[in-house]
Amino acid sequence: MKPTLLVLAAGMGSRYGGLKQMDGVGPNGEIIMDYSITDAIRAGFGKVVFVIRHSFADEFKAKINAEHFGNRIAVEFVYQELDNLPAGFSVPEGREKPWGTNHAILMAKDAIHEPFAAINADDFYGRDAFQVCADFLRSVEGKRGEYCMVGYRLENTLSENGTVSRGVCNTTADGKLIGMTERTSIGRTANGIEYKDDDGSMHPLAGDSIVSMNLFGFTPDYFEYSEALFVDFLRARGGELKSEYYIPYAVNTFLGDGRATMKVLQTSAKWFGVTYKEDRPMVVEQLRKLHEQGEY
């Protein structure tokens, strides 16, 4: 059975403005997802599932469908909305913020029954990243609790136009993930690369730190575990207006209690993305070079 690719595309790109997932950045108007799906097809993925929202579903589906990819891969859509909650829970009054990346993953639990990779819609991961992930997922078919992530060097994932959030990874000597720490407001300063913590103080981060760019691989039991953990999360933090159920939180939980292991995969691929509108020219130039080199 071929692995499936899950694309987290429900975000509206508030910092960038509009549906940044639909912005043509390639030489022929390609969007970043075109490259991700092309690389996934090359790597042997058999289906792609998009997590979107009803508010832009018509626009999204008009652009993204099986025909758009030459009918080379099966396409399915699922929806992330605030009220997609377990029985007994409701959206607190005043909450507008989505429930986070791991909530988005849960939306696909009825659509995916095989090992799968999860990615952000608006990040370029590189051909090799999909290949190493697909190879791993094929090796764990029929198993439980054997996950992976593709790791990138922090210094290669920053924006020159503002701060970013990254999951900073702690690994064993043999490349297994011990845990991820979500760091926000990371950027280059006069003192090097630093992040800001909740009280506003700044702390250094090494440029060669391995970080998650939300390219994960999971066996299907991840849905089962995540659904139960989401109930615990909602009991503890569901009344907060801005709490988010992040992938790193779930992964850390499952690694910590021994239910799963996560292999950090090395890749020669280079990541880039449009976090801010000002990042767009750099992405356009990078993609132009890749086309000139014959990669696409």
Tell me the residue range of the domain where 89 lies.
4-151+210-292
Tokens of 52: 């979107």
Q: The domain spanning residue 253 has which CATH number?
A: 3.90.550.10
Q: Does any domain span residue 180?
A: no
pLDDT at 19 (0 to 100): 57
pLDDT at 14 (0 to 100): 43
pLDDT at 144 (0 to 100): 97
Q: Does any domain span residue 128?
A: yes
Q: What is the CA radius of gyration of the chain?
A: 18
The answer to whether the pTM exceeds 0.85 is yes
Q: Does any domain span residue 116?
A: yes
Q: Does any domain span residue 167?
A: no
pLDDT at 15 (0 to 100): 40
pLDDT at 202 (0 to 100): 95
What's the structural domain count of the chain? 1
With a CB cutoff of 8 Å and minimum separation 6, the contacts of 131 are 39, 42, 43
Q: Are 271 and 130 in contact (CB under 8 A)?
A: no
Which residue from 86, 104, 15, 1 is spatially nearest to 44, judged by alpha carbons? 1
Q: Along the 296 residues of the chain, how does pLDDT read in single tens digits?
A: 899 999 999 974 444 445 555 778 999 999 899 999 999 999 999 999 999 999 888 888 888 888 989 999 999 999 999 999 999 999 999 998 889 999 999 999 999 999 999 999 989 999 999 999 999 999 999 999 999 999 999 998 999 899 998 989 999 999 999 988 889 899 999 999 999 998 999 999 999 999 999 899 999 999 999 999 999 999 999 999 999 999 989 999 999 999 999 999 988 888 998 888 899 999 999 999 999 999 99
Q: Does any domain span residue 273?
A: yes
DSSP state of 170: E
With a CB cutoff of 8 Å and minimum separation 6, the contacts of 50 are 7, 9, 60, 64, 75, 76, 77, 78, 121
Write out the E strands in the chain: 4-8, 47-52, 74-79, 116-120, 123-124, 146-153, 164-171, 177-189, 192-196, 202-204, 210-218, 261-265, 272-273
Q: Which residue has the tokens 């377990």?
A: 86
* Gap between the Cα atoms of 124 and 131, Å rounded: 14
pLDDT at 62 (0 to 100): 84
Q: Does any domain span residue 219?
A: yes
Q: Does any domain span residue 105?
A: yes
Task: Report in angstroms the alpha-carbon separations of 35 from 124, 127, 139, 258.
Answer: 7, 8, 24, 35
Q: Does any domain span residue 172?
A: no
Q: Are 184 and 269 in contact (CB under 8 A)?
A: no
